[in-house]
Copies of this chain bind each other. A is one copy, B any other.
Amino acid sequence: MDAEELNRFIESWGSMGILWGINRSMARIHAYLLVSEEPVDSERISSYLNISRGNTSMCLKELRNWGVIQRVNISGDRRDFYMAEPDTWKMLYRIAIGRKSREFDPALHALRHLLSETDTGKSRKVHERLTQVEEILTTLDHFIDRFLESEEKSKTILSFFRNFAPK
């Protein structure tokens, strides 16, 4: 993978960051770590991607919170080095779990709260509509939980998906 290809990847990963719900800088840094064989230090990241040291530091912290990168120490070197989570599966789980807990769960919670406090008699039609939404989201919620529950199980589910939706 030559430098040009590498940059093309970094930039496209950066712009597809929306999909994971992370911003451009974070995604670019993540991409850079993904394509680096060896752990790299923050100075190198910052200068290669033209991101300030400060921002680089904050992004690395965030990415660590997400669990998609790891900090490693190299003996005899005072600097911190970083590498992408080496297990692709684990990485994707972490991203999915993060998104779910930040977006999906609060949404579902709010809806349930609303329904529990709503007088069913007052406007039946509306109440039924919202109940339907709640049911669907609840089912999806359980499903996603199972899907994310363990690595091995998820691999099984994936193979189910393959059979169910071949083409």
Contacts and interface: CB of A to CB of B under 8 A. Distances in A.
Given A88-B132, A165-B142, A165-B145, A110 B2 contact: no
Given A9-B111, A12-B107, A143-B161, 10 more contacts: A1-B122, A5-B117, A9-B110, A13-B110, A16-B111, A19-B103, A34-B130, A86-B129, A88-B129, A146-B164
A107 B9 CA distance: 10
Interface residues of A, number: 54
Interface string A132-163: 11001001101101100000000000100110
Nearest to A167: B142
Interface string A116-131: 0111001101110110
Chain A interface helix/strand/loop/mixed: helix
Say how many copies of this protein the assembly contains. 2
Given A1-B126, A127-B1, A139 B110 contact: no
Nearest to A12: B110
A96 to B, nearest CB: 10
Contacts of A54: none
A145 B164 CA distance: 11
A76 interface: no
A8 interface: yes
